[in-house]
Amino acid sequence: MEELCGVGAAAPLRGDAEDPKQGSALFPGGNEVKSSAVVKYSSAPPQGAFARLQEKTDLKLPPANWLRESAKLGPAGTTILGNNKKSKPFSSFGMAYDFIDSVGNDVDVVSDSENIKKLLKIPYSKSHVSMAVHRIGRTLLLDELDIQELFMRSSQTGDWTWLKEFYQRLIDQKWQRKKKSKEHWYQKAILSKFLYYSINGDGAAQPVPSTSKQHQEGPVSGESDEAGRASWPAPFEMPSSLSEDPGASNQGLKNDFVRNILWTFEDIHMLVGSNMPIFGGGRYPAVSLRLRDNNKPINVLTGIDYWLDNLICNVPELVMCFHVNGIVQKYEMIKTEDIPNLENSNFSTKVIKDIAQNILSFLKSNCTKEGHTYWLFKASGSDIVKLYDLTTLCEETEDKYQNPFTMPVAILLYKVACNMMLKKNQNKKHYGTIRTLLLNCLKLLDNGRHPQIIASANYMLSELFQLDEPKKEDSTDFPINGNSDESYSEEEEEMPDSDENGSYSNSSDPPDDNKAVAIIKSVGELSVPEKYKSVHRIRPSCAFPVCHGTEERCRLVLNYVLEGLKSVDSSVKKEGDLPAADPSTPIPLKYEDESTSGGPECLEKQMALFLDKMGSFQKGKHSSQSGMIPGSWQYKMKLQLILKSSKAYYVLSDAAMILQKYGRALRYIKLALQCHDTYCCLCASMLPEVLVFLCQCLTLCGDIQLMLAQNANNRAAYLEEYNYQTKEDQEILHSLHRESRCQVFAWATDLSTDLECQLSVSCKCYEAAYEILLFSNLKNQNPEQRIQVLKRMGNIRNEIGVFYMNQAAAVQTERVVSKNVSTTEQQLWKKSFSCFEKGIQNFESIDDATNAALLLCNTGRLMRICAQAHCATEGDFKREFSPEEALYYNKAIDYYLKALRSLGKRDVHPAVWDSVNWELSTTYFTMATLQQDYAPLSRKAQEQIEKEVSEAMMKSLKYCDVDTVSARQPLCQYRAATIHHRLASMYHSCLRNQVGDEHLRKQHRVLADLHYSKAVRLFQLLKDAPCEFLRVQLERVAFAEFQMASQNSSAGKLKTLSGALDIMAKTRGAFQLIRKELVAESEQISKDKSSAESVSPNDSSAGLNKEEVLKLLSIFESRMSFLLLQSIKLLTSTKKKIGGVNEEEVVLKTNKQVYSLLLRATANKSMTLLERIEVILNLLEQLAQTSDASSGGVQ
């Protein structure tokens, strides 16, 4: 931009931007008005000096260059008549189209400078004012509305008859065309000749022969008249061409001004068009040139005219050439700031400022409906200014398209919205404004005439709603209700003006007041400072609608998309062979039973076809059933709309998934993929972001199918959700079916009732997504997407592996007759193993050690199931641990060890680490137990078996963590105790059966004793294993008895006996636990006696096995009896030999007493279990006391 005081500087092209330079005009006597002008565009050449005409030059004679095109005056016809050239009716729209950035936001007014001057002169002038006013955002567009021209047109075409009747009825009953006077044309002609003389190179007048004078003057008026008439386009011609190309400059919509200036007058920003010729050079850098009749003094109107022209164009001086009857007399130069003080033309600049502010406030307060055409009218000689809403008047009478402003306004609303959309990421606060602009644009358009703009506007409306992020309803950068100037309403509430705003007139006023939107009762009011304050009686309906959830937001988007699709489809010529579909008839969603779907094999073929088709997209194949031409606006717009609907359905599906509405989620993802299928049919080449989105859709579809498989109980509810369809969805599908069959993704979106099929479909969805990433080379560009897909593939393969593994286990349990492993089982193992193997590869490829470890763990479990299947191939009496079992258990161990290696250390994932350790310990323990219980003696020596059992048991102990406090700790302790017990039993057994090698026997004795003591210590920690503790202690007693049998000396035997009795005394804790449980049980029984469900005697509380207790108690009593008897015998014989009284006598006495009580108790068969335990506890108490008293005696 440049300021108009520069000399010879080339003006920038339209749209260029530079920093504006501020200039202000100061006036003496404190009469200061701030004014600055910045040229936004100029087609004028560098300013040249004007030719000063010689005195007595006759302006009635035309110069030789008259009416020829002149660069200095601009194109012939634009400045031929100088300042007084009539405005074109759409001049403001031409400027608005060129400077779309300024419209709706920064600029208050867009207009021709002539219209601005006419408005500011209203209080001083008696002449009529007729202007069309349009509101776009906070910007007002002002255009001259030439009533005479309109009514002339109405007489010829029949348009605007309603306005003509309205005008004649309420304003001017005797309207007739007023012809311009001869004087008017005379003044225009000499001004034109004067300007052409002034640009003549040598400055001398070169008149043409006088014979041509009449010939030349005639056409001026005719040409001007014709030009004015032609500038009103027919109402029905303009929309069609504009609808094809919104950017087309139609006749009357071009920006024909020589200059477009951004003029700031006080606080009012105006985009003004001016054609005033500006001259410069020498002493005068920039001057405006005026011709004045010396006999007529300058009046106020002329002074204001000259002053405003110079202010708008930032011209510092005015040169006036005076003439008398066309003969040049003299030149006079006046500074712009002196113009208000000229004789006969004195006016206050501050008053002009007040008039400007009042008029703007009046218009902004009352022209509130965007898209409406308002008419500001003041009759000639009247003091009353009225504002009418022509759009409302027009709709009351005729078709809205009778208003020729309809299309330019709609196009401008659309363009402003488009421009704001380009910056939408930076200006989310403008979303409300953009939406209002587009909705108002759509109100003005007819679908039959403007499908492209309607489709585009609906698409932009859908784009305003962010689908990929949650709406920030409380965000500070997105005000819900803005009170700024932009918050205007499309539905204005009528309310009486306050006195300040100029009230509606009283009953004494003319009868047409009810038709006027607002009235200025007297033009004198405009000169009163701040008489009309800009009270925007407007509700802030520009606020963006608050959506209460994702579904509501997506439904709004789909509604706009559907309107857009309807527009596109209606504009495409329907081919004869197109299937006729009724939008109100639901399109079946093709629910398939698994019996017809063909299972996983059929799925493989569909996947192959799909991937082949996806590959073909890369080669650029496409087909449209409706016959849309690739590259046409319909084609491009439908692609965008379809993609948008696909995204909306994806978001709806995702939201339904979160709410666990899996049937609804599958329906939405089906619609999303059907949209995508149509997009693929139309699109010549797939954009990377579209392929990434397709991957997301398939991934979500896989998730949904997996959830449906895992929630089979609610299948009926899901089926109902899946089959439901809204009318909107049906209509969108109808539009899609115009282009494709929408069946490419049917394999992924059908709702099956078969669990295996659902899991397979889920897996295939993930595989398809991964294939797309692979063949489109997107995996490196979208690493996060790749990781997500691979993680899901690993997970679903684990699910399918577990499914087949569980099936194999079920078959195994049902196998009774046939002892051999069935082919079905083997097939299931293979399928399961294959799934686990692929899943492990998936997780390893993304370095997911934890999940890889879990799948390795599951593979280990599969191997154990295989091992279990190979057991009991012959009768149980011949049962031996088979080589196949050993093979599979060892394979299981390998997988568990791999899982531990995958994790590396416990810190990576403690829970998984502990779980793998436990499974590994269990496998070793199971293998050792089976080898011990079903020793393969036909294949191996006893020693070899014992060695392998011992090794396996020790390894099981190694992976059994008894120290870490966790929920599994008691289990680990029980397992470790059992291992020690089994090892002790094994060494005990070896000791009994072995003969010979004394060293080996001694080793076995030490090991048996060690493991027994460890088992006891661990069982003592557990509060729920009293029977196991008793059994171990009894085995220890048996071990002592076995040792005693080989002893010869009485002292040694006595010591061993004393130790065995001591072991028995230590079982008090176990018996106390058993008693506690029995007491609790008897109390429970007494409570439940009244109820029918009393506990039967065979039941046990807290898992206490009464049969086991009775069995152990009998053994305990017999062993205790035996030990006491042996002890009494030995002590008695010792006493006879030694004599005297010592500790042994005390022990002997106690043992006799206890033995006596024990014999009586065992003889009494009527005693209950609880009573017998009470007796044992009492006896053990006595033994313990004796043992404590005789500390250090025989023991």
Residue 25 has pLDDT above 90, yes or no: no
- Say what the alpha-carbon torsion angle 799, 803, 805, 809 is, to the nearest 10 degrees: 150
**Would you state the structure tokens that stand for residue 415, as one six-digit string?**
């363009």
Stated as kind and residue range, the H or E segment containing 68 is: none
d(CA 828, CA 600): 15
Given this model, what pLDDT does residue 833 score? 95
Which position has the token pair 């310990």?
921
Question: DSSP state, 878?
Answer: G
Examine the pLDDT at 1157 and tell me if it is beyond 50.
Answer: yes
Question: 245-259, 428-442, 918-932: which has the minimum mean pLDDT?
Answer: 245-259
| Dihedral-angle region of residue 235 (phi above 0 means left; psi in -120 to 50 means alpha; beta otherwise) | alpha
* Mean pLDDT, all residues of the chain: 77
Residue burial 1112-1151, b: 16+ Cβ < 10 Å; e: rest: bbeebbebbbebbbbbbebbeeeeeeeeeeeebeebbebb
**Exposed, middle or buried by CB within 10 Å (0-12, 13-18, 19+), for 962?**
middle
Pair type for strands 516-520 and 385-389: antiparallel
pLDDT band at 1080 (very low <50, low <70, confident <90, very high): confident
Mean pLDDT, to the nearest integer, of 278-283? 73
386 versus 157: which is more confidently predicted?
386
Q: Is 109 exposed, middle or buried (0-12, 13-18, 19+ CB in 10 A)?
A: buried
- Cα-Cα-Cα-Cα dihedral sign, residues 398, 404, 408, 411: positive
Distance from the Cα of residue 970 to its chain's centroid: 48
What confidence score (pLDDT) does residue 860 get? 94
Strand 109-112, strand 139-144: pairing: parallel
Q: Is the CA virtual torsion 980, 982, 984, 986 positive or negative?
A: negative
Which token pair is 1092? 């029918």
pLDDT at 633 over 90: no
363-387: average pLDDT: 88
Residue 843 C-alpha from the chain's centroid: 28
Tens digit of pLDDT for each residue in 750-783? 888 889 999 999 999 999 998 888 877 776 777 8
Q: What is the pLDDT at residue 98? A: 86
> Which residue do the tokens 């797309």 mark?
772
CA–CA separation, 890 and 885 (whole Å): 8
What is the C-alpha separation between 362 and 450, in angstroms, rounded?
A: 34
Token readout for 376 is 């500001």
- What is the length of the chain? 1195
- How many Å separate Cα 755 from the centre of its chain? 31
Task: Tell me the average pLDDT across 774-800.
Answer: 85
Judged by DSSP in three states, 371 sits in coil
Predicted local confidence at residue 16, as pLDDT: 40
Taking the C-alpha atoms of residue 659 and residue 655, their distance in angstroms, rounded to an integer, is 6
pLDDT at 9: 31
Confidence at residue 612, expressed as pLDDT on a 0 to 100 scale: 65
Q: Does the pLDDT of residue 312 top 80, yes or no?
A: yes
Confidence of residue 147 (pLDDT cuts 50, 70, 90): confident
What mean pLDDT comes out for the span 328-334? 90
Residue 594 has pLDDT above 60, yes or no: no
Which tokens hold the place of 382?
Answer: 């009247």
pLDDT for residue 643 is more than 70: yes
84-98, 653-667, 771-785, 1019-1033: least confidently modelled range: 84-98
Residue 661 is predicted with a pLDDT of 92
Question: pLDDT at residue 488 above 50?
Answer: no
The H or E element spanning position 1113 is helix 1106-1138
- The lowest-confidence range among 334-348, 512-526, 871-885 is 871-885
DSSP label at 499? G
Separation of alpha carbons 124 and 300, rounded Å: 8
Q: What is the pLDDT of residues 1090-1138, one digit of tens each?
A: 554 444 444 444 457 788 888 888 888 888 888 888 888 888 887 665 5
Stretch among 397-406, 734-743, 840-849, 1149-1158 having the lowest mean pLDDT: 397-406
45, 277 contact by CB (below 8 A): no
pLDDT band (50, 70, 90) for residue 28: very low
Whether the per-residue pLDDT at 685 is higher than 90: the answer is no
pLDDT of residue 761: 93
- Residue that has been written with the tokens 């109405």 in this structure: 154
For residue 846, the surrounding DSSP H or E stretch is none
> What are the structure tokens assigned to 1010, written together?
């060690």
- Where is average pLDDT lowest: 418-427, 641-650, 1097-1106? 1097-1106
pLDDT single digits (tens) 30-43 = 457 888 888 888 88
| pLDDT attached to residue 700 | 95
More confident residue, 438 or 155: 438
Query: Is there a contact between 290 and 306 (Cβ–Cβ < 8 Å)?
Result: yes
Dist. CA 1151–CA 1148, nearest whole Å: 5
What are the tokens at 973? 């302790």
Of 816 and 778, more confident: 778
- Nearest alpha-carbon partner for 4 in 276, 196, 269: 276
Tell whether the model's pLDDT for residue 483 goes beyond 60. no
DSSP states along 962-987: SSS-STTHHHHHHHHHHHHHHHHHHH
Q: What is the pLDDT of residue 238?
A: 33
Q: Comparing 503-517, 758-772, 914-928, 1035-1049, which segment has the lowest mean pLDDT? A: 503-517
The confidence band for 683, taking pLDDT boundaries of 50, 70 and 90, is: confident
Q: Which residues pair with 388 in a beta bridge?
A: 375, 516
pLDDT bucket at 77, cuts 50 / 70 / 90 = very low
Strands 278-281 and 374-378: unpaired
Higher-pLDDT residue of 502, 804: 804
Residue 987: pLDDT band with limits 50, 70, 90: confident
Using the predicted structure, report yes or no on whether residue 199 has a pLDDT greater than 60. Answer: yes
